């Protein structure tokens, strides 16, 4: 049963199995284990980024495609729903239309970019995607009538996804189950389904061909596989998954703007999460997303507490001052790459 659900791609490491079960249970029970707006927001962000990072790993880790346009597809999905909900507030039809439009635009754009530029060397494809993503970000900022420009769009989601909605009259395990928690579970189960779907894809015959292309495209061609076609389809699949992650984020945040969906900073975060977790394994995407987002959300607070606790000591309180959290995040990244060159999951699976 579990083997079928995971498409035969089991964690193959006791430690990794425990980590994955802990992540699954932690996210599944987050509203009850970690009550509070900030914790729930962190858990929802982790769910969305697991999908986003896994979809990027489909390109980078499984197919060997370096793309800088992934946040563009993420943004297209988010803007699809945001624009529709802005026009038809609180409507499920708007969400349906937004998902369909965002998905269609993202996949079509990815296929066009792929067909025209995946024939060239990897570095040129990376440059093309960087240029297209930058142009798209400027376009989204300038088309303020449609996208809200730099301010972005704030919109109303269906009432069942708002805090005003109460699923049960009484509290459940001490927590009032309102629309916010319903929204969280929508994000959680959608993310889980998309993750399992991606596991199915990478463990299918199609996924094997992608891995063969990553290892040696000439050998794959000599076996009769048209590498451009496979790469282009992988690019379209990755874009579609990223767009769906954008949809989930749009439904969770109820706000979509260029900084939260299209920025190069998010692209760099995705790259870091893939590298930390381990390329070429979707479990790595999950581990990388959890570690990175937890560090980003809580490292500063932890350092503040540590700085106060060590106030009497020389130098150390300054080193762990909360203002230096980015420095420590960088050091953590360097250490993780040094000790786990194949990523955490790559190391655990050895």
Partner 1 sequence: MPDALPDALLTLAGVHTHIAQYHILQGVDLTVPRGGLTMLLGRNGAGKTTTMRTIMGLWHASAGSVTLDGRDITAAQTPDISRLGVAYVPENMAIFAGLTVRENLVLAARSGPLADDRLDWIFGLFPALKKFWALPAGNLSGGQKQMLAIARAVVEPRDLILIDEPTKGLAPAIVQALIEAVNELKATDTTILMVEQNFHMARMVGDTVAVMDDGRVVHAGAMAELAADDALQTRLLGLSMDSHQ
Residues in the site for partner 1, rule: CB under 8 A?
Answer: 205, 208-209, 211-212, 214-216, 218-226, 280
Shortest spacing between CB 315 and partner 1, in angstroms: 46
Shortest spacing between CB 218 and partner 1, in angstroms: 6
| 8 Å CB contact between 182 and 160 | yes
**Cα separation, 193 vs 244, whole angstroms:** 11
Spatial CA neighbour of 206 closest among 247, 253, 238: 238
Shortest spacing between CB 298 and partner 1, in angstroms: 35
CA distances from 25 to 35, 142, 188, 232, 332 (A): 15, 42, 11, 35, 26
* Choice between 40 and 212, CB closer to partner 1: 212
**Cα separation, 202 vs 293, whole angstroms:** 25
**Cα separation, 198 vs 188, whole angstroms:** 15
Write out the H or E segment, with its range, that includes residue 255: strand 255-256
**Cα separation, 237 vs 189, whole angstroms:** 20
Shortest spacing between CB 207 and partner 1, in angstroms: 10
* Choice between 159 and 219, CB closer to partner 1: 219
* Choice between 209 and 289, CB closer to partner 1: 209
Tokens 């006791």 locate to: 14
Shortest spacing between CB 214 and partner 1, in angstroms: 8
**Cα separation, 169 vs 274, whole angstroms:** 42
* Choice between 144 and 216, CB closer to partner 1: 216
Shortest spacing between CB 343 and partner 1, in angstroms: 14
Shortest spacing between CB 205 and partner 1, in angstroms: 7
**Cα separation, 239 vs 74, whole angstroms:** 8
The two structure tokens encoding residue 304: 């503040």
* Choice between 3 and 224, CB closer to partner 1: 224
* Choice between 222 and 315, CB closer to partner 1: 222
**Cα separation, 202 vs 225, whole angstroms:** 17
| 8 Å CB contact between 140 and 147 | yes
* Choice between 87 and 219, CB closer to partner 1: 219
**Cα separation, 49 vs 71, whole angstroms:** 11
Shortest spacing between CB 198 and partner 1, in angstroms: 18
Spatial CA neighbour of 284 closest among 11, 18, 5: 11
* Choice between 215 and 323, CB closer to partner 1: 215
**Cα separation, 16 vs 341, whole angstroms:** 17
């Amino acid at each position: 049963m579990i083997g079928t659900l995971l498409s035969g791609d089991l964690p193959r490491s006791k430690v990794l199995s425990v980590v994955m079960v802990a992540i699954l249970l932690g996210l599944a029970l987050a509203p009850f284990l970690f009550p509070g707006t900030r914790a729930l927001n962190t858990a929802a962000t982790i769910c969305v980024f697991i999908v986003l990072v896994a979809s990027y790993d489909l390109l980078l880790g499984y197919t060997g495609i370096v793309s800088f346009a992934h946040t563009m597809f993420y943004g297209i999905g988010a803007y699809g729903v945001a624009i529709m909900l802005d026009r038809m507030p609180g409507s499920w039809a708007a969400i349906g239309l937004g998902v369909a439009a965002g998905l269609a635009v993202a996949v079509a754009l990815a296929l066009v970019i792929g067909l025209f530029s995946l024939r060239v060397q990897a570095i040129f494809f990376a440059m093309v995607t960087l240029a297209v993503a930058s142009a798209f970000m400027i376009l989204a900022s300038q088309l303020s009538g449609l996208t809200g420009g730099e301010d972005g769009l704030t919109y109303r989601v269906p009432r069942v996804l708002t805090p005003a909605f109460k699923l049960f009259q009484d509290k459940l395990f001490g927590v009032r189950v309102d629309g916010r928690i319903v929204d969280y579970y929508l994000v959680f189960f959608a993310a889980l389904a998309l993750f399992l779907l991606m596991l199915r894809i990478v463990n299918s015959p199609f996924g094997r061909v992608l891995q063969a292309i990553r290892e040696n495209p000439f050998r794959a061609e000599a076996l009769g596989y048209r590498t451009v076609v496979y790469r282009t389809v992988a690019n379209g699949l990755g874009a579609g998954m990223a767009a769906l992650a954008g949809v989930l984020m749009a439904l969770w945040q109820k706000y979509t703007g260029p900084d939260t969906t299209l920025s190069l900073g998010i692209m760099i975060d995705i790259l870091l999460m893939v590298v930390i977790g381990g390329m070429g394994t979707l479990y790595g995407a999950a581990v990388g997303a959890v570690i990175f987002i937890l560090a980003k959300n809580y490292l500063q607070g932890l350092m503040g507490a540590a700085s106060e606790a060590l106030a009497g000591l020389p130098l150390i309180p300054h080193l762990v001052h909360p203002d230096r959290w980015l420095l420590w995040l960088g050091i953590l990244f360097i250490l993780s790459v040094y000790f786990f060159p194949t990523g955490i999951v790559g190391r655990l699976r050895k």
